[in-house]
Amino acid sequence: MWALLSTRLRTWLLFAILVPLTGVAARAVARRLERRHGPTRLTRALNTVGNAASRRDRGDRRRDEGYGRPGSGGSRRPVTTG
């Protein structure tokens, strides 16, 4: 069945389904390990993998880079102080 799918469809399935599932699994393993042993390099790495595979963090990165803050140089629109 997998061989009958086109290359583009297989690539889309990989990125649309498997990568987010891998991120969810990595975050779940990191949480479980942190509960048992506390924060370690392994749990931080697993959380990083989980966050990189997550769509919801993209907006947070933009906000952290300074978009919309006065004097940050990252705002596309003027910020009014009120």
pLDDT digits (tens, 9 = 90+) for 5-31: 788 888 888 888 888 999 999 999 999
The burial class, CB within 10 Å (0-12 / 13-18 / 19+), for 30 is: buried
* 69 within 8 A of 79, measured Cβ to Cβ: yes
Q: How far apart are CA 6 and CA 3, in angstroms?
A: 8
What are the backbone dihedrals phi and psi of residue 75, each rounded to the nearest 5 degrees, phi first? -85, 135
Domain-wise residue ranges, the chain: 22-51
The model carries a pTM of 0.57
What tokens were used for 38?
């506390």
Residues listed for the chain: 82
The arithmetic mean of pLDDT across residues 44-51, rounded, is 93
